[in-house]
Structures are given as structure tokens and as C-alpha cells.
Structure 1
Amino acid sequence: MNETMVCAVGNVATQPVYREPASGPSARFRLAVTSRYWDREKNAWADGHTNFFTVWANRQLASNAAASLSVGDPVVVQGRLKVRTDVREGQSRTSADIDAVAIGHDLARGTAAFRRANANANAGEAEAPVTPPRPEPAWETPEADTEIAASRPRPEHAAVT
């Protein structure tokens, strides 16, 4: 399929509206995306034009978005761009919608506490026990220590430079 996938970074402009029609849960909200640029005359960052998108979410994403988002929250939205043109009362109006695949808080502008949605609770079953957090993996290796680096086996197919 030829679809236009976009990733928009902005702020939630309206409170999400959540509905549960027969086809499944749906939520929508407006997203404000404002460009920023460096104003040389003022020697400061300035706001540019603001674009508004209607973001549509379905199924579990709709339920989670409605429960997690509030007006003003900085978010990142990924989804399919749908540009529509309607003619009303002789005037043509163009709107841009995003059929969301993923929505998340923008962690460059704040913190968030993630909680998994409990599928069992929705089915009326007992909640699964909470598992304790795992220890932090040792991502950093002591590359500066030459003894450790020298003791590592070298691959036999290494390229010669």
C-alpha cells in the first residue's frame, strides 16, 4: 500500500473524546504542531506557524490515549496522514487527519511513568501479579582496561585494514 506515514511532535490541543461504537473503541483529539526557528534579529528562538491535526486512535490505543492524555501534554504521534477537502456552503475546506499507529509522551520535554494496560482486568479476570523490576544491565564495558580488551578473542574473519 502507498500510504503517507508521518511522525508529528506537538501538544495535545483538545481533551481526547472517547467513544465505544459497535465497531470498537475510538478516540480523537487535536494536535498542535508549532515550528521553531532561530530569529537572528532578536538573537532568540521564536515560534513559527502552528499546524493543527485531528488525531484518530482505535481499539486499545484509543482507550490508552483517552486515559493518558490531557490538554497541553507534549506528545509524539506516528500514523497515516489523511488530507481531506470538503465543500460546505460553497466554500472549500481542507483538513489534515492522522490515523494514529502509536502515541507517546515526548520525553525530551518531561517524564512519564509507564503502566501496562491490563488485558485480564478488561475481561473480568483477576489481575496478574506485579513482577519486580529487573536489575539494570551492565551496558558499559571497561574498554579502557587493556587487560580485559586484550583477553577478548578476536574473530577469525576480521577484515584486514
Structure 2
Amino acid sequence: MAGTTTLQDGSFSLETNATDFYIEVSFMGFTTKTFENYTVTNGTVDKVLLLENAQALNEVLVQGEVSQTIFKLDKRIFNVGSDLSSTGASALDVLNNVPSVNVNIHGQISLRGSQGVQILIDGKPSAIASEQGNALGTLTADMIEKIEVITNPSAKYDAEGTSGIINIV
């Protein structure tokens, strides 16, 4: 058994001392052709033509995915949607997985070690995220699209001296 590859013009050379052999020609995207009956003239075999092996696809699905973390001038955005580690988790578990955010066992959220964090839901203050009735544990990860961490809030957010803002979208 011997093999070879073609030159740039498609020709190839293969030597054998065997008297009983067959020739098999194959290339990716073409049907394999086997020659058992061939004529050797002056040590060469005639041209070999291969047929395309085309297959029609029923459907092609192209999916795009957003990067897990996006850094912007005034905030960092953490996309939760495709994060497998947050499957079945609560909003507090998801927040605890966000870098620089900590959630203690009582559900208190701190940003870079400071607990003066303003929590927003869809950009607005909410009773769900308040310190008194911290019900973020009732939100599940599949309800959250992304978490925005704003460590240097602009006047637009009316931050009132907080150490930062966490916006749950």
C-alpha cells in the first residue's frame, strides 16, 4: 500500500513493484474513484476526473453571542443570559458572581467593600431592591438580561453619595 499527493498542476507519480494493484483517487469535496481496470501506456495512466460530492443542506443556523463583559466609559456590563453558572440561581447568587460585588449571607450587597450601594431595577429604584425588604432573592437568573456596575456615577443617576450603583436589567 502506498500513497502520494498531487503537484500544483494536479499530476502525481506513484511507483510500485506489485503486479496486482488498484488505484484509488480521493480529495475532500469529491467522490472517491477506484480504478481496477486501467491501461498503462509508457508507465502512465490516463487522466483521472473526479466528480463533485455536493450535498445540499436543509438549514443553516447562525447564532451570535454577546461578550460576557463589556467595559464602557462609565460602567461595566455583565451579560447574564448565556452564563451557565447562573442557571437556576437567584439574583443574589448572580450578583455574587459579578467581580467587585459581594453578597453576604444576610443578602446585604457591597461594591468594592463598601455597603453604600444603590440598587436599581431597569434603571429605576424599586422596593424589591431596597435594604429594608431585600427581595432580590426572589428574582431568578433567567429574568435578568444584564447587570450594570457603575462605580463612578454621573449626575444623571442622582447617586446621593453612594459608593456606586448596580442596575439590574
Q: TM-score range by the shorter chain?
A: under 0.3
- TM-score normalised by the chain length of structure 1: 0.23
Structure with the higher strand share, 1 or 2: 1
Name the structure, 1 or 2, with higher relative contact order (CA <8 Å, separation 6+): 1
